[in-house]
Amino acid sequence: MFENEVIGSVHFPELSNKHSKCEIGYYIGSKWWGKGFTSEATKEIARYAFEDINAHKLKAWHHSDNIASGLVLQKLGMIIEGECKQEMILKDGTYSDIKEYGLLKDTWDHLHR
């Protein structure tokens, strides 16, 4: 089914030791939307962040009009911490608002006992 085919990517920059937080980002091709791959991948990254490297906080963001991406983050237990107006410039030269999310280790532990 996936032989020699890239369906998306997840990025997870190194833990900032000073603040004990990290950020997760992802992209998946439209052919694979709605199949649970992104939710599965982000859940494993969150597990790794909190259980293996002892992060205190996981952060993420998405374009405000990308509701499906917000649902992925909410499934992890993340909450909206803010919205930044016209934060990102798009290929067509217009600007996009973004929503920023956060998840604390204590919340993760409570949700995944």
Residue entry with tokens 């032989």 = 3
Domain extents in the chain: 8-111
Assign 9 a pLDDT band (cuts: 50, 70, 90): confident
Beta bridge partners of 35: none
Tell me the per-residue pLDDT of 46-98, one tens digit each, with 9 for 90 and over: 999 999 888 999 999 999 999 999 999 999 999 999 999 999 999 999 999 99
DSSP state of 16: B
Q: Where are the beta strands (DSSP E) in 16-108?
A: 21-23, 25-28, 57-63, 79-89, 95-104
Per the CB < 8 A criterion, the answer to whether 44 and 76 are in contact is: no
Interval 21-46 mean pLDDT: 90
Nearest partner of 14 among 51, 47, 42, 55, judged by Cα: 55
**Topology (CATH) of 8-111:** Aminopeptidase (3.40.630)
